[in-house]
Structure 1
Amino acid sequence: MTPKYYSVKKKILEMIDQEEIGPDGMLPSEREIMNMFGVSRITAKKAIDDLVKEGYVYRIQGKGTFVKNDKLNQDLVSLTSCTEDIIRMGMTPSKRLLSAEIITADQASMRQLHLCSGDKLFKVKRVYFADNEPLNLTTTYLPCKLFPGIENFDFGVESIYNVLENEYGTRITKATRTIEAVLAADEVAEILNIDEGEPILLFRAVTLGIVNGKEVPIEKFKTYYRTDKLKFCINQVR
């Protein structure tokens, strides 16, 4: 005989498959499930617990249980970090530091970050994961003259924005981003665990912030995103 909780779980999965409850949509509460299917609280809880364990849904303490979205919802208006976006989607973020070095700014960086000839940049390359799946490859460039000693932080663990805000007193204000579709080169494809030549998205950005009372360029970065793990959210008004 099929356990009652399994039948309830199957019916909830059908609701998800038919998009009666869409991505990031909230599941009925335990009490609502009890009333919908005529089952006990223990049965309702067991069905939801199984859905959480199997990765179909996720819980947010004090708010409820939500359908997991396979794609990261990238808000193009809000200025948030990749880690913040992953957490907001109910996924577990992680990252791996690939390299960190001090380099001399090239002409493009001098122009974008208002630097002089010979100025140094701290270059950090990292890969970000959502629920242990590679999401993007990001290379960040920070002006050393604005952030002396920046190379001493472990950005395999630390958040760049947290360090800039909390250790250097920087207030991050805005960014200009460009987005283009490109084909994954061999190195990028290997890191992101996709096929070489697969379409991906390339983000380029220059970020501004308040340093010593003045708004200046504080960072530039480029990010290669897997297209099967990302969707855009743009709020428009007229």
Structure 2
Amino acid sequence: MRELPRYREIYETLRRQITDGVFVPGSLLPSENEMCRLYDVTRPTIRKALDLLTKEGFIIRHQGKGSIVKGAPKEIGILSLSSTTSAMDGTRLQTSIIVQPEHRAWDDAFTYAISEEEKQAGCIYFERVRILDGEPVILDITMLPDLGLPRFAEFNLENASLFDLLRSQYKITVTGGIQQLFAISADKRAHSLLRIRQGHPILQVNRKMETNRPGFYLYSQIICVTSKYGLSGRF
């Protein structure tokens, strides 16, 4: 794999430290001079990393004061599970790949029309099941235009974030999108994968997600068992 530019590596390190709580909201990041010594780089490299953090809302830069941590901004377009009976612990949620990423031809993306460029390029298709406390609760089907995503299939998406992968390896971030919600009955496949009876009421969410790369969209279909858990998130 192609190595990330040095400023990008520093950005990823600082971003991770902010999201993990190493740097809490209101605290100061090390000075530019300190980070130059820490990472053995020049100030322009540090400033490029800080510019990215500022743009994404992780820090505020004040002349004479330094870089003040705002905290991790709420992700856009990510749906998370919340229990209807008790607080959720994210460590209880696992992701299993049931269809590995593969190139496919496509004419549309779920209920969304695709451009001629997307159609000609084909898509990268894969399926994952979200498992909570050993119980499958979400079938997540993803279709990505096969445009500018070299070696995507070589990455392991087991218990990994697709959005983090796209951001760190391809500089693609989700900025918003549209979604459609359907109340449907479980078919034979949902019955098999989610361990529910056929005809059981389930929620289907079709999403088209916009990104910072012009003309590049992510498409997904989420099928969720909501009898015990709800979905939450910003979009």
Shorter-normalised TM range: 0.5 to 0.7
Matched-pair contact (CA < 8 Å) for 1:112–1:217: no
Q: Is 1:95 aligned to residue 84 of structure 2?
A: no
Distance of aligned partners of 1:183 and 1:85 in 2 relative to their CA distance in 1, 3 Å threshold: closer
* TM-score of the two chains, using structure 2 as the length reference: 0.58
CA offset digits 1:108-135 (Å, max 9, x no partner): 5796443434322110101001222211
Distance of aligned partners of 1:169 and 1:99 in 2 relative to their CA distance in 1, 3 Å threshold: same
Alignment of 1:69-218 (within 5 A): 79-82=76-79, 85=81, 89-91=88-90, 92-100=92-100, 101-108=102-109, 112-116=113-117, 117-211=119-213, 214=214, 216-218=215-217
CA separation in 1, counterparts of 2:169 and 2:82? 24
CA separation in 2, counterparts of 1:110 and 1:184? 18
CA shift, 1:189, in A, is 1.2
Higher relative contact order (CA 8 A, sep 6+): 2
CA separation in 1, counterparts of 2:156 and 2:166? 13
CA offset digits 1:54-100 (Å, max 9, x no partner): xxxxxxxxxxxxxxxxxxxxxxx963535x55698324110110012
Aligned to 2:221: 222
Q: Larger Rg: 1 or 2? A: 1
Unpaired runs of 5+ residues, structure 2, are 1-73
Unpaired runs of 5+ residues, structure 1, are 1-76
CA shift, 1:229, in A, is 2.8
Q: Give SS of 2:197's match.
A: coil
* TM-score of the two chains, using structure 1 as the length reference: 0.57
Matched-pair contact (CA < 8 Å) for 1:93–1:129: yes
Matched-pair contact (CA < 8 Å) for 2:203–2:226: yes
Distance of aligned partners of 1:219 and 1:155 in 2 relative to their CA distance in 1, 3 Å threshold: same
> What is the number of residues matched between the two proteins?
155
Name the amino acid aligned to 1:89. Answer: M
Aligned to 1:37: none
Question: How high is the sequence identity, in percent, across the aligned residues?
Answer: 19
CA shift, 1:232, in A, is 5.3
